[in-house]
Amino acid sequence: MNESFTVKFSYKGKSVAVEDISRGTSASVLLAEARASFNVDDDVILRLIFKGKTIAQDIMDDDDGVVDNEGNNNNHPAFRIGTKIPKGGAKVIVMGSATARGIRHLNSLRSDPLMRGFEDERQSDKNDKATSSSRQLTTFWGPLHGSQDARYKFCRFQECTDASFGSRPGASTPHAFEARRLLERLATDPGIVSVLRSRELVVGTLGEIDPIDDRLVQRKQQEGVCVLGYNTNRGMRIDVKLRTDDLGGFRTYGELASTLVHELSHNWVGEHDVLFWTNYGQMRIEYLWTHARLMRGGVFVNGKRTAALAGVVDMIVSPEGGGNAARNSNDTPTDSQTMDIICQSVIVELAREMAQHHLPVQLVAPAVLAFSKELMIETKDDATLHIGGRRLGTTEVQPSTQNSGNAGTSARELALAAAEKRAREGKDRSG
């Protein structure tokens, strides 16, 4: 059982054969033979591998940090009973790892307090997930009107974090942090919040289109189409092209908000048909009407109207090409006059966009105008947008006048009732 055989050590491309090795040779003796064969420093920790298994390994003493080849763990035979030795001898791979001196030096170093370990990273991820839903977003629209609805909202935000976007010295394009703030500004826009709430929409992720390497955008550009946003799986994710083509800055906020409303309309209709443009026009009416009501309610954010911050004052006060004929310069327009201006603005906008799809705006104008009248009725007694607003020259918040017929009825109930009414009327006409 203790017949001798040859062991061929292999280390760093070199091979050395050692004779007179038996099954009784201990692991410590075999390690010493390997070290002597290649003149390996005593400070290097060796490991011997035979047929894919470790048969011997240097042990480091925890007290003084030196390599101990005579420890109890290496007194066992290197080739255990039952191990088959080839006729030509055993081929053993010798592997050298860190030196004892190096390990001792590493153990003496203090961990960097600014770097987190794996456990700290895992705990940080758990904390981020636990607080992400309750994290306060950028309060661009003020403390009263600068938050999402608790239920109908954008759940996550994803800006483009490419290293070239504003993080390199001398870069002219805005940083990813600014893109994140812009996404949050869109999500908390009072007009967007109103559209999401009234239609009970929940969007998984609001993200930024990669302005350099977005394959869908590149494919559409080859077809001659300019893509400013797209909707994935009907609201699972919406991406908007925030940056200009030259990457020098962001697109105008009014254009971004209009694009976001456009993509939200795709939650119901995928194709750009008459039904889509009808729904989009109605959502634009609601978006502008929300800012118009905040304007009429005397709501200011950092000294500006929300309509001015959203870049839609001209669509509320004076429609494109319509001048200011809807009201005299010295008179405050009524709700009906303001809604008429909004409808004119939206119809002009629809005509321009629908022309690209060879559709006349006359197909959707009646439905959009009917919706505007219903929206005025539904929001007549809703004072939520006037909370905190003050008329110039007064010191108290203007109270809302409750209609006795609708007292106690929420805006959501009124909206549902109006939607049911529209459905009944459509059914009667089709019948």
Tens of pLDDT, residue by residue over 398-420, are 433 333 344 445 555 555 566 66
Q: Which residues pair with 205 in a beta bridge?
A: 156, 237
Two tokens at 306? 């929300």
Greater confidence (359 vs 425) lies with 359
* pLDDT attached to residue 429: 59
Q: Give 313-354 pLDDT, tens digit per residue.
A: 999 987 554 444 444 445 678 889 999 999 999 999 999 999
The crossing angle, in degrees rounded to 10, of helices 190-199 and 411-430 is 60
Please give the angle made by the CA atoms of 49, 53 and 54, to the nearest 5 degrees. Answer: 55
Two tokens at 169? 């010295």
Contact by Cβ (8 Å): 46, 58:
yes
Confidence of residue 48 (pLDDT cuts 50, 70, 90): very high
The crossing angle, in degrees rounded to 10, of helices 274-296 and 335-354 is 150
Contact by Cβ (8 Å): 277, 296:
no
How many angstroms separate the CA atoms of 289 and 309, rounded? 15
- Of 63-72, 218-227, 400-409, the one with minimum mean pLDDT is 400-409
Contact by Cβ (8 Å): 208, 259:
no
Q: Which residues pair with 53 in a beta bridge?
A: 50
3-state secondary structure of 98: strand
CA atoms within 13 A on the CB side of 301: 19
Contact by Cβ (8 Å): 347, 365:
yes
Q: Which residues pair with 250 in a beta bridge?
A: 243
Confidence of residue 381 (pLDDT cuts 50, 70, 90): confident
Q: What is the bridge-based pairing of β-strands 203-208 and 154-158?
A: parallel
- Cα separation of the two ends of the chain: 100
Given the structure tokens 């390997």, which residue do they identify? Answer: 34
* pLDDT attached to residue 142: 81
- Of 7-11, 224-228, 341-345, 406-410, the one with minimum mean pLDDT is 406-410
